[in-house]
Amino acid sequence: MGIEAYTYLFINIACILIPFVASFYPKHAFYKEWRYFLPANFTVALLFLVWDYYFTQMGIWGFNPRYLTKVYLLNLPLEEILFFIAIPYACVFTWFAIKYLVKNNPFKRFHGVITIILAILFLMAGFGFIGKWYTSLTAFLTGLYLLITFYKKRDLSYVYLSYLIVLPFFFISNGILTGSGLEEPIVWYNNAENLGIRIGTIPIEDSVYGFLLVLMNIDLYEWLKKHFA
């Protein structure tokens, strides 16, 4: 097995390595939050893996064995399962750090407006593109989730700020996964099931899918901490 078979695994490691090491910063240690984060992460990961499994079975996306270690659970590569741990960890750590470092959040005053506008736009897209499974389901679930957070008066200002900060790293890692700099993509998409709009090599739906993944991890982590701390 050549070195390229570890490509997806290396991407996961690269995404989580610095956040993992920085988690032990003594003045604001994220490792002390693992008792709340890990159960939240595993729960959300399970939900997304079920989604992932069915979309893979339906041919909405798939994985190039050339860049995989070829260890599978059901029909999902080990690397894809690790993705739902590594990426949320890096993003939730970033959110945790930003809340500590940034005291004057520019989104604080109008986060509710952003939430309701995004909720409406995503719900409209979800209903408007029925028939394109990736676009429709991702947009609808994200819009519905944001509508619920708006109803509950959740402050998402630091979620928005931290997600904007991680977006450049998202474009790098997800760009490689979708073929940037490689002869073939690691993760391929059936364009009949999405809008066919790409940011470089990345389907635009991926940015919404990633946002929902991160938001759900943060929400469940905070809920567990609130009720079991």
Domain region containing 10: 3-228
**Long-range contacts from 48-54, C-beta under 8 angstroms, 24+ separation:** 48/84, 48/213, 49/76, 49/81, 49/84, 51/137, 52/76, 52/80, 52/84
Backbone φ and ψ for 68, nearest 5 degrees, come out as -120, 155
Residue at 155: amino acid letter: D
Whole-number percent of the chain with pLDDT over 90 = 98
pLDDT tens for each residue of 130-152: 999 999 999 999 999 999 999 99
What is the chain's length? 229
* Confidence band for 180, pLDDT divided at 50, 70 and 90: very high
Question: Total domain count for the chain?
Answer: 1
In this prediction the pTM is 0.96
* Confidence band for 62, pLDDT divided at 50, 70 and 90: very high
- The DSSP line for 92-124 is HHHHHHHHHH-SS-TTTTTHHHHHHHHHHHHHH
